[in-house]
Amino acid sequence: MKLTTRLADRGFVVTGEVGPAKGADASEALQGASVMAGTVDAVNVTDSQSAVMRLGSLAVAHLLKGEGIEPVFQLTCRDRNRIALQSDLLSAAALGIENVLCVTGDHMVLGDHPEAKKVFDLDSVQLLAAARGLTEGRDLAGHDIDPAPSLCLGAVVNPGSDDLEMQLIKMRKKIDAGAEFFQTQAVFDPDSFSRFMDGATRFGVPVLVGIVPLKSAAMATYMNEHIAGVSIPDPMVDRMRDTPKADRKKVSIEIAADLIRRMVDACQGVHLMPLGWDDVVAPIVESAGLEIAG
Protein backbone atom coordinates (compact mmCIF):
# COMPACT_ATOMS: atom_id res chain seq x y z
CA MET A 1 0.00 0.00 0.00
CA LYS A 2 1.23 3.48 -0.81
CA LEU A 3 2.21 5.53 2.22
CA THR A 4 0.07 8.36 0.92
CA THR A 5 -2.95 6.03 0.96
CA ARG A 6 -2.12 4.98 4.50
CA LEU A 7 -1.76 8.61 5.51
CA ALA A 8 -5.14 9.44 3.97
CA ASP A 9 -6.70 6.56 5.90
CA ARG A 10 -5.07 7.17 9.29
CA GLY A 11 -3.46 10.60 9.17
CA PHE A 12 -0.24 9.25 10.69
CA VAL A 13 2.26 6.51 9.79
CA VAL A 14 5.25 4.81 11.35
CA THR A 15 8.08 3.40 9.26
CA GLY A 16 11.14 1.38 10.20
CA GLU A 17 14.40 0.67 8.43
CA VAL A 18 16.74 -2.22 7.69
CA GLY A 19 20.14 -2.32 6.04
CA PRO A 20 20.93 -5.31 3.80
CA ALA A 21 23.94 -7.43 4.69
CA LYS A 22 27.33 -7.35 3.01
CA GLY A 23 26.75 -10.72 1.42
CA ALA A 24 24.25 -12.73 -0.58
CA ASP A 25 22.01 -13.63 2.37
CA ALA A 26 18.97 -11.43 3.05
CA SER A 27 17.81 -13.36 6.13
CA GLU A 28 19.12 -10.83 8.66
CA ALA A 29 17.30 -7.93 7.01
CA LEU A 30 14.15 -10.03 6.63
CA GLN A 31 14.29 -11.04 10.28
CA GLY A 32 14.77 -7.43 11.37
CA ALA A 33 11.82 -6.31 9.27
CA SER A 34 9.74 -9.18 10.64
CA VAL A 35 10.41 -8.00 14.20
CA MET A 36 9.05 -4.56 13.27
CA ALA A 37 6.24 -5.75 11.00
CA GLY A 38 3.40 -5.67 13.50
CA THR A 39 4.35 -2.18 14.63
CA VAL A 40 5.20 -0.19 11.50
CA ASP A 41 3.33 0.60 8.31
CA ALA A 42 6.37 0.06 6.07
CA VAL A 43 10.07 -0.73 6.25
CA ASN A 44 12.75 1.22 4.39
CA VAL A 45 15.51 -0.79 2.73
CA THR A 46 18.72 1.22 2.52
CA ASP A 47 20.71 1.37 -0.72
CA SER A 48 24.39 0.65 0.07
CA GLN A 49 24.13 3.04 3.00
CA SER A 50 27.22 5.16 3.77
CA ALA A 51 28.56 4.10 0.35
CA VAL A 52 29.35 0.61 1.66
CA MET A 53 28.67 -2.07 -0.96
CA ARG A 54 25.88 -4.36 0.22
CA LEU A 55 23.11 -6.62 -1.03
CA GLY A 56 20.82 -4.58 -3.27
CA SER A 57 17.87 -2.70 -1.86
CA LEU A 58 15.60 -3.73 -4.74
CA ALA A 59 16.17 -7.44 -4.09
CA VAL A 60 15.50 -7.10 -0.36
CA ALA A 61 12.44 -4.90 -0.96
CA HIS A 62 11.06 -7.58 -3.27
CA LEU A 63 11.67 -10.29 -0.66
CA LEU A 64 9.93 -8.17 1.99
CA LYS A 65 6.95 -7.77 -0.31
CA GLY A 66 6.81 -11.54 -0.60
CA GLU A 67 6.70 -11.79 3.20
CA GLY A 68 3.72 -9.42 3.33
CA ILE A 69 5.81 -6.53 4.66
CA GLU A 70 5.39 -3.21 2.85
CA PRO A 71 8.80 -1.96 1.70
CA VAL A 72 10.10 1.51 0.96
CA PHE A 73 12.69 1.04 -1.76
CA GLN A 74 15.57 3.47 -1.31
CA LEU A 75 17.19 4.47 -4.59
CA THR A 76 20.39 6.54 -4.74
CA CYS A 77 21.87 8.47 -7.63
CA ARG A 78 25.45 7.74 -6.60
CA ASP A 79 25.92 4.45 -8.47
CA ARG A 80 23.61 4.66 -11.49
CA ASN A 81 23.10 6.78 -14.57
CA ARG A 82 19.65 7.89 -15.69
CA ILE A 83 19.11 4.74 -17.75
CA ALA A 84 19.73 2.44 -14.77
CA LEU A 85 17.73 4.63 -12.38
CA GLN A 86 14.67 4.62 -14.60
CA SER A 87 15.05 0.90 -15.26
CA ASP A 88 15.19 0.19 -11.51
CA LEU A 89 12.04 2.25 -10.98
CA LEU A 90 10.22 0.24 -13.63
CA SER A 91 11.59 -2.97 -12.12
CA ALA A 92 10.31 -1.97 -8.68
CA ALA A 93 6.84 -1.32 -10.06
CA ALA A 94 6.88 -4.64 -11.94
CA LEU A 95 7.65 -6.37 -8.62
CA GLY A 96 4.73 -4.66 -6.89
CA ILE A 97 6.86 -2.16 -4.97
CA GLU A 98 5.07 1.17 -4.75
CA ASN A 99 6.97 3.30 -2.22
CA VAL A 100 10.30 4.76 -3.33
CA LEU A 101 12.62 7.08 -1.42
CA CYS A 102 14.73 9.08 -3.87
CA VAL A 103 18.09 10.21 -2.50
CA THR A 104 21.34 11.51 -3.94
CA GLY A 105 23.45 9.12 -1.82
CA ASP A 106 26.59 9.39 0.28
CA HIS A 107 29.80 10.04 -1.63
CA MET A 108 31.90 6.94 -2.31
CA VAL A 109 34.95 8.39 -0.54
CA LEU A 110 33.05 7.76 2.71
CA GLY A 111 32.59 4.06 2.03
CA ASP A 112 34.52 0.85 1.47
CA HIS A 113 35.26 1.44 -2.24
CA PRO A 114 36.61 5.01 -2.19
CA GLU A 115 38.27 4.47 -5.58
CA ALA A 116 34.91 3.77 -7.24
CA LYS A 117 33.98 6.02 -10.13
CA LYS A 118 31.24 8.45 -9.16
CA VAL A 119 28.09 8.64 -11.27
CA PHE A 120 25.66 11.23 -9.88
CA ASP A 121 24.19 11.59 -13.37
CA LEU A 122 21.06 12.92 -11.62
CA ASP A 123 20.57 14.43 -8.19
CA SER A 124 17.63 13.67 -5.93
CA VAL A 125 15.45 16.44 -7.38
CA GLN A 126 16.11 15.26 -10.92
CA LEU A 127 15.48 11.65 -9.89
CA LEU A 128 12.11 12.63 -8.43
CA ALA A 129 11.23 14.41 -11.66
CA ALA A 130 12.29 11.37 -13.69
CA ALA A 131 10.21 9.06 -11.49
CA ARG A 132 7.17 11.30 -11.74
CA GLY A 133 7.63 11.41 -15.51
CA LEU A 134 7.54 7.62 -15.61
CA THR A 135 4.28 7.59 -13.65
CA GLU A 136 2.89 10.02 -16.21
CA GLY A 137 3.90 7.72 -19.06
CA ARG A 138 7.15 9.15 -20.37
CA ASP A 139 10.86 8.70 -19.76
CA LEU A 140 13.55 11.37 -19.52
CA ALA A 141 14.15 11.18 -23.26
CA GLY A 142 10.48 11.90 -23.92
CA HIS A 143 9.60 8.38 -25.01
CA ASP A 144 6.27 6.82 -24.07
CA ILE A 145 6.09 4.31 -21.21
CA ASP A 146 3.30 1.72 -21.41
CA PRO A 147 2.12 0.78 -18.93
CA ALA A 148 3.24 3.59 -16.66
CA PRO A 149 4.33 2.54 -13.15
CA SER A 150 2.29 3.47 -10.09
CA LEU A 151 4.70 4.84 -7.50
CA CYS A 152 4.57 6.85 -4.27
CA LEU A 153 7.63 9.08 -4.22
CA GLY A 154 9.44 10.19 -1.09
CA ALA A 155 12.44 12.38 -0.31
CA VAL A 156 14.62 13.36 2.62
CA VAL A 157 15.08 16.64 4.46
CA ASN A 158 17.35 17.77 7.30
CA PRO A 159 15.50 19.85 9.93
CA GLY A 160 18.72 20.34 11.94
CA SER A 161 20.62 22.04 9.15
CA ASP A 162 22.41 25.26 10.02
CA ASP A 163 20.77 26.81 6.93
CA LEU A 164 17.10 26.15 7.60
CA GLU A 165 15.92 28.39 4.78
CA MET A 166 18.00 26.43 2.27
CA GLN A 167 16.44 23.17 3.51
CA LEU A 168 12.98 24.64 2.95
CA ILE A 169 13.99 25.78 -0.54
CA LYS A 170 15.26 22.27 -1.33
CA MET A 171 12.08 20.81 0.10
CA ARG A 172 9.98 23.02 -2.17
CA LYS A 173 12.06 21.94 -5.19
CA LYS A 174 11.57 18.27 -4.30
CA ILE A 175 7.83 18.75 -3.95
CA ASP A 176 7.66 20.50 -7.31
CA ALA A 177 9.61 17.57 -8.79
CA GLY A 178 7.21 14.97 -7.38
CA ALA A 179 7.89 14.25 -3.67
CA GLU A 180 4.73 13.11 -1.90
CA PHE A 181 6.21 12.52 1.56
CA PHE A 182 9.42 13.30 3.46
CA GLN A 183 11.50 11.39 5.96
CA THR A 184 13.93 13.48 7.99
CA GLN A 185 17.47 13.11 9.21
CA ALA A 186 17.66 11.97 12.85
CA VAL A 187 16.23 14.63 15.15
CA PHE A 188 17.23 15.04 18.81
CA ASP A 189 16.10 18.64 19.35
CA PRO A 190 12.30 19.08 19.38
CA ASP A 191 12.63 22.87 19.48
CA SER A 192 14.63 22.99 16.24
CA PHE A 193 12.18 20.54 14.66
CA SER A 194 9.30 22.80 15.66
CA ARG A 195 11.00 25.76 14.00
CA PHE A 196 11.52 23.70 10.87
CA MET A 197 7.90 22.58 10.77
CA ASP A 198 6.75 26.19 11.19
CA GLY A 199 8.18 26.71 7.72
CA ALA A 200 7.45 23.28 6.23
CA THR A 201 3.78 23.00 7.17
CA ARG A 202 2.78 25.47 4.45
CA PHE A 203 3.79 22.95 1.81
CA GLY A 204 1.05 20.55 2.86
CA VAL A 205 3.23 17.44 2.31
CA PRO A 206 3.52 14.78 5.07
CA VAL A 207 6.72 14.80 7.13
CA LEU A 208 7.93 11.75 9.06
CA VAL A 209 10.37 12.76 11.78
CA GLY A 210 13.51 10.62 11.92
CA ILE A 211 14.36 8.90 15.19
CA VAL A 212 17.61 7.01 15.86
CA PRO A 213 17.78 5.14 19.20
CA LEU A 214 21.10 5.95 20.86
CA LYS A 215 23.26 2.95 21.70
CA SER A 216 25.99 4.70 23.67
CA ALA A 217 27.60 8.02 24.51
CA ALA A 218 30.33 7.21 21.99
CA MET A 219 27.71 6.84 19.25
CA ALA A 220 26.15 10.16 20.23
CA THR A 221 29.53 11.90 20.18
CA TYR A 222 30.36 10.44 16.77
CA MET A 223 27.04 11.60 15.34
CA ASN A 224 27.57 15.10 16.71
CA GLU A 225 31.01 15.29 15.13
CA HIS A 226 30.44 13.59 11.78
CA ILE A 227 26.79 13.76 10.70
CA ALA A 228 25.66 17.09 9.29
CA GLY A 229 22.55 18.52 10.85
CA VAL A 230 22.58 16.24 13.89
CA SER A 231 22.92 17.89 17.28
CA ILE A 232 22.49 15.67 20.34
CA PRO A 233 22.22 17.76 23.54
CA ASP A 234 24.91 17.27 26.16
CA PRO A 235 22.46 16.10 28.87
CA MET A 236 21.34 13.30 26.54
CA VAL A 237 24.93 12.29 25.86
CA ASP A 238 25.71 12.41 29.59
CA ARG A 239 22.69 10.27 30.38
CA MET A 240 23.90 7.56 28.01
CA ARG A 241 27.42 7.81 29.44
CA ASP A 242 26.12 7.39 32.99
CA THR A 243 23.91 4.43 32.10
CA PRO A 244 25.31 0.93 32.74
CA LYS A 245 25.67 -1.10 29.57
CA ALA A 246 22.98 -3.54 30.67
CA ASP A 247 20.43 -0.72 30.90
CA ARG A 248 21.26 1.16 27.71
CA LYS A 249 18.43 -0.26 25.61
CA LYS A 250 15.89 0.65 28.26
CA VAL A 251 17.20 4.22 28.51
CA SER A 252 17.46 4.50 24.73
CA ILE A 253 13.80 3.52 24.43
CA GLU A 254 12.85 6.13 27.02
CA ILE A 255 14.79 8.88 25.21
CA ALA A 256 13.35 8.01 21.81
CA ALA A 257 9.78 7.76 23.11
CA ASP A 258 10.11 11.11 24.88
CA LEU A 259 11.39 12.75 21.70
CA ILE A 260 8.43 11.38 19.74
CA ARG A 261 5.90 12.56 22.33
CA ARG A 262 7.36 16.06 22.12
CA MET A 263 7.20 16.18 18.31
CA VAL A 264 4.22 14.01 17.37
CA ASP A 265 1.74 16.87 17.10
CA ALA A 266 3.95 18.74 14.63
CA CYS A 267 4.32 15.97 12.03
CA GLN A 268 2.46 13.25 10.17
CA GLY A 269 4.61 10.28 11.05
CA VAL A 270 7.74 8.79 12.56
CA HIS A 271 10.61 7.09 10.77
CA LEU A 272 12.54 4.83 13.16
CA MET A 273 16.11 3.91 12.21
CA PRO A 274 17.12 1.27 14.79
CA LEU A 275 20.52 0.44 13.23
CA GLY A 276 20.23 -3.23 14.16
CA TRP A 277 18.28 -2.74 17.38
CA ASP A 278 15.09 -3.89 15.67
CA ASP A 279 13.59 -5.10 18.94
CA VAL A 280 13.39 -1.56 20.34
CA VAL A 281 10.95 -0.34 17.68
CA ALA A 282 7.81 -1.85 19.23
CA PRO A 283 8.52 -0.64 22.79
CA ILE A 284 9.37 2.84 21.50
CA VAL A 285 6.10 3.06 19.59
CA GLU A 286 4.14 1.71 22.56
CA SER A 287 5.86 3.98 25.08
CA ALA A 288 5.32 7.00 22.84
CA GLY A 289 1.59 6.23 22.76
CA LEU A 290 1.44 5.84 18.98
CA GLU A 291 -1.22 3.80 17.26
CA ILE A 292 0.06 0.38 16.31
CA ALA A 293 -0.03 -0.30 12.57
CA GLY A 294 -2.71 -2.72 11.48
Tens-place pLDDT, residues 261-283: 999 999 999 999 999 999 999 99
Residue 83 falls within a domain, yes or no? yes
Residue 137 pLDDT? 98
Contacts of 255 (CB under 8 A, 6+ apart): 213, 214, 236, 239, 240
Contacts of 88 (CB under 8 A, 6+ apart): 58, 75, 80
Sign of torsion over alpha carbons 286, 288, 289, 294: negative
Going by the DSSP 8-state scheme, the letter that residue 142 receives in this structure is S
221 burial (CB, 10 Å; 0-12 / 13-18 / 19+) is middle
Residue 237 falls within a domain, yes or no? no
Is residue 206 scored above 80 in pLDDT? Answer: yes
Residue 234 pLDDT? 96
Is residue 222 scored above 80 in pLDDT? Answer: yes
pLDDT band with cut points at 50, 70 and 90 for residue 294? low
Span 48-65, mean pLDDT?
Answer: 96
Residue 160 pLDDT? 93
Q: Whole-prediction pTM value?
A: 0.96
Domain count, the chain: 1
> Alpha carbon of 53 to those of 58, 62, 106, 211, 222: distances in Å?
14, 19, 12, 24, 22
Is residue 32 scored above 90 in pLDDT? Answer: yes
pLDDT band with cut points at 50, 70 and 90 for residue 291? confident
Residue 176 falls within a domain, yes or no? yes
Residue 24 falls within a domain, yes or no? yes
Span 84-98, mean pLDDT?
Answer: 98
SS3 category, 138 = strand
Residue 293 pLDDT? 60
Residue 130 falls within a domain, yes or no? yes
Is residue 238 scored above 80 in pLDDT? Answer: yes
Residue 258 falls within a domain, yes or no? no
- Amino acid at site 184: T
Phi, psi of 196 (to 5 degrees): -60, -45
* Boundaries of domain holding 86: 3-213+268-279
CATH number where 161 lies:
3.20.20.220
Contacts of 212 (CB under 8 A, 6+ apart): 186, 223, 256, 273, 274, 275
SS3 category, 16 = strand
Q: How many CA atoms lie within 13 A of 93 on its CB side?
A: 18
pLDDT band with cut points at 50, 70 and 90 for residue 109? confident
Percent of the chain with pLDDT over 70: 99
pLDDT band with cut points at 50, 70 and 90 for residue 108? confident
